[in-house]
Amino acid sequence: MTDAAVVRRVLDGDVGAFAILVERYYDRYARYAVHMVGSREEAEDALQDAFLRAYRSLARYEERERFGAWLFRIVMNQCRTVAAKRRRDETRAAEWVQETSEAHPAEHHALREELDRALARLTSEQREAVLLKYTEDFSYEEMAVITGTGVSALKMRVKRACERLRELLMEVYCV
């Protein structure tokens, strides 16, 4: 059954059919959300809110647009909100505390954790661009629709993000 057909079923009153869309898209967008907000718990919150917003807005979905891209835009906006809120929270929480140094992560996870650290050091826009392009495999044209940014600006953003990511990872691991 196509996404559009599922949406029609939900709008006709079959609320349970929404589970098909959740099952179809949750795991894929969880990957994006976790990388974007940097915490699994907050990513799960963002996804829950995003799916609920999608459900409430389902009547506004127009079938000429790919449902996955429409839903992704909601997920992306929710992740942006969570990431911004998290930055505010951390700033406020930091006022209460003195900086403490933390132990280096366990060796067997160090490589992967360095990637997460490098990703976190990109700007939010760069991180978003890299994830959309290389993790979610959106075309630049799709990315332009999703983000509201022009194709050439997105190409430049991805290029700079890749350069920065490469630089950060090479610093740590290149022989």
Site for another protein contains 97 (CB under 8 A): yes
Least Cβ distance, residue 165 to another protein (angstroms) = 6
Nearer of residues 150 and 156 to another protein, judged by Cβ: 156
Do 70 and 59 contact (CB within 8 A), yes or no?
no
User: Could you give the string, one character per residue 135-174, with x where binding to another protein holds by CB under 8 A and - elsewhere?
Assistant: x--------------------------x--xx--xx--xx
Least Cβ distance, residue 150 to another protein (angstroms) = 24
- Scanning 34-42, 64-72, 73-81, 150-158 for contacts with another protein by CB under 8 A, the matching segment is 34-42
* Integer Cα distance of 51 and 117 in angstroms: 28
What would the DSSP string read from start to end of 15-54? GGGHHHHHHHHHHHHHHHHHHHHS-HHHHHHHHHHHHHHH
Mention every residue, 6+ apart, whose C-beta is less than 8 A from residue 131. 32, 35, 36
Site for another protein contains 5 (CB under 8 A): no
Site for another protein contains 106 (CB under 8 A): no
Which residue in the set 52, 84, 151, 156 belongs to the binding site for another protein (CB under 8 A)? 52
Residue 120 has, within 13 A of its CA and on its CB side, a CA count of 13
Site for another protein contains 115 (CB under 8 A): yes
Residue among 71, 76, 87 nearest 36 (CA): 76
Do 69 and 4 contact (CB within 8 A), yes or no?
no
* Integer Cα distance of 85 and 21 in angstroms: 27
Site for another protein contains 47 (CB under 8 A): yes
Binding site for another protein (CB under 8 A): 10-11, 13, 15-16, 18-19, 22-23, 26-27, 30-31, 34-35, 39-45, 47-49, 51-52, 55-60, 85, 89-90, 92-94, 96-97, 99-100, 102, 111-112, 115, 118-119, 130-131, 134-135, 162, 165-166, 169-170, 173-175
